Amino acid sequence: ELGVVGDALQCEVFAVGGFVRDLLLRQPNLDVDIVVEGDGIAFASEFARRQGCRIRSHQKFGTAVIIFPDGFKVDVASTRMEYYLEPGALPTVEDASIKLDLYRRDFTINTLAIALNGPRYGELLDFFGGQRDLEEKAVRVLHNLSFVEDPTRVFRAIRFEQRLGFRIGVHTEHLLRSAVRMGFVDKVGGARVFNELVIILKEANPVPAVARMAELQLLKYLHPALVLTPRIRQRFEEASRVIHWHELLYTGEPCQGWLVYFLCLTVELDKDAMEGICRRLAVPARYVGMLCEQRAEARSRLQSLERRRARGTRTKASELYQWLKPLATEVLLAMMAQAGTDEVRQQISHFFTHLRNVSPLLDGNDLLALGIPPGPQYKVILHHLLQARLDGRVLTRDDELALVRK
Ligand code: CTP
């Protein structure tokens, strides 16, 4: 149908980029990217009119998103040539043909296109050796200035290499290393580096990609003192295990796995260094509390738990609850990954499975029915009931009533 609309508007329409790459690799990819030779926004509007879809468009970039009634989205771009005014700057856009559009892309494996117009439907366009590189499992740039034009591609190269099980080509790796050595990544700006890092940490298994980042001297862009020691790597692998463990609990609690990885990667940095990272990378405010204050809190809790274990001091469930309850799921999982002993890890996992969602059976209405006048003491009573329940001193509702009466 995309091609039919293209025919009607007399413009050529192509599926491009990651969608075509993954199609040829027989990997699932629901991000459909379309390039229109001509006015992409006019194309998207006409398609949406015929198919009952909505669109969102950006005049400045000549792009639109077609949104189907079921929420499915198709990105539409107009053929264009991007100029990078200076290394690391955002591109400026101008009209051009499909071949030029594909030429401005990052790697050959992302330059394949499939024609969608009636007469050419299904024809594969391969101007830059994309099919060969898919066969050779190689991530290769199209030209020597690729990483200079857009240094975020350094991170993208690693991400594709590790995700697809490919290898960055020899010459491309050489170019990548020089771009890093010459400090081009610095020009990108912290927020974009952070964005690329998060995308890497969201990969199904980010461990090898982070190891490769370390090998290519990229961790220093997060913090000069950040190195991937065998110990940190081990924590990082442990993070993978605890994230999957938590998924299997089906707690319904959302958990952003990338944050757990990030916390484990930075485990050996102190609070000042972490605050420095947050500033440099312009980490959004909603994460900073977790990464700085909560992380420091978690660290001291973990030390206390380890000390108590070493001394053989028992920690009551209500204490464990009080310590761990204020911490976000991600911070708790990072703590589990960092725990030095199985016992402490089990204490935290016990908190997740048995303590975190405990609450007293009685509530304010019950206290009112008992003739207790409403007021601040309700909070105190309910807190005591919660503690009693956590420590197994009450089981039934009658136990709680008896405790309140006492
Ligand atoms: N692109 C680029 N340089 C960048 C970012 C993107 O050249 N810094 C190009 C790539 O060729 C890519 C296309 O823009 O194919 C779309 O980008 P994106 O959606 O990020 O890439 P995908 O290949 O679809 O990656 P993913 O599978 O991770 O979505």
CA distances 6 to 11, 39, 60, 300, 352, Å, are: 5, 10, 22, 62, 54
State CA 206 to chain mean position distance: 10
Pocket-testing residue among 73, 110, 193, ligand 1, by greatest number of atoms within 8 A of Cβ: 110
Instruction: Copy the structure tokens of residue 369.
Output: 């029915």
Spell 25-63 as b/e; 16+ CB within 10 A means b. eeeeeeebbbbbbbbbbbbbbbbbeeeebebebeeeebb
Ligand 1 atom nearest to CA at 22: 27
CA distances 169 to 67, 107, 109, 161, 333, Å, are: 37, 11, 12, 10, 37
Ligand 1 atom nearest to CA at 29: 27
Ligand 1 atom nearest to CA at 18: 23
CA distances 267 to 171, 228, 295, Å, are: 35, 11, 9
Q: What pLDDT sits at residue 81? A: 46
Q: What pLDDT sits at residue 109? A: 98
User: CB of 17 closer than 6 A to ligand 1?
Assistant: yes
Element (DSSP H or E) covering residue 331? helix 329-338
Separation of CA 17 and ligand 1 centre (Å): 7
Strand, helix or coil for residue 73: strand
User: Can you give the pTM of this predicted structure?
Assistant: 0.88
User: CB of 106 closer than 6 A to ligand 1?
Assistant: yes
Q: Whose CA is nearest to atom 11 of ligand 1?
A: 105
What does the alpha-carbon distance between residue 205 and residue 60 come to, in Å, rounded to a whole number?
A: 36
From first to last of its 406 residues, what are the pLDDT tens digits of the chain?
A: 899 999 999 999 999 999 999 999 999 988 999 999 988 999 999 999 999 999 999 988 889 999 999 999 999 999 854 545 566 666 665 556 899 999 999 999 999 999 999 889 999 999 999 999 999 999 999 999 999 999 999 999 999 999 999 999 999 999 999 999 999 988 888 999 999 999 999 998 999 999 999 999 999 888 888 889 999 999 989 999 999 999 998 888 889 999 999 999 998 898 899 999 999 999 999 999 999 999 999 999 999 999 999 999 999 999 999 999 999 999 999 999 999 899 999 999 999 999 999 999 999 999 999 999 999 999 999 999 999 999 999 999 999 999 998 8
How much of the chain is in helix, strand and coil states, percent to nearest 5?
Answer: 55, 10, 30
User: CB of 345 closer than 6 A to ligand 1?
Assistant: no
Pocket-testing residue among 75, 82, 105, 134, ligand 1, by greatest number of atoms within 8 A of Cβ: 105
Q: What is the CA radius of gyration of the chain?
A: 27
Pairing of strands 113-115, 73-78: unpaired
User: CB of 110 closer than 6 A to ligand 1?
Assistant: yes
Query: Which parts of 60-218 are beta strand (E)?
Result: 63-67, 73-78, 80-83, 92-95, 113-115, 124-125, 138-139, 167-168
> If you ran DSSP here, which 8-state letter would residue 352 be given?
I
The dihedral through the CA atoms of 187, 155, 232, 325 has a sign that is positive
Q: Tell me the ipTM for this assembly.
A: 0.95
CA distances 194 to 155, 188, 286, Å, are: 11, 10, 14
Q: Whose CA is nearest to atom 26 of ligand 1?
A: 18
Instruction: Copy the structure tokens of residue 219.
Output: 């961790």
Strand, helix or coil for residue 74: strand
Strand, helix or coil for residue 75: strand
Q: Whose CA is nearest to atom 13 of ligand 1?
A: 17
Ligand 1 atom nearest to CA at 152: 8
301 CB-near residues (< 8 Å, 6+ apart)? 323, 324, 327, 335
48 CB-near residues (< 8 Å, 6+ apart)? 54, 55, 66
User: CB of 153 closer than 6 A to ligand 1?
Assistant: yes
Chain position carrying tokens 């590790």: 162
| Closest to 227 in 3D by CA, of 238, 235, 239, 219 | 219
Q: Whose CA is nearest to atom 19 of ligand 1?
A: 18
User: CB of 146 closer than 6 A to ligand 1?
Assistant: no
Ligand 1 atom nearest to CA at 19: 24
For residue 241, the cross-strand partners are: none
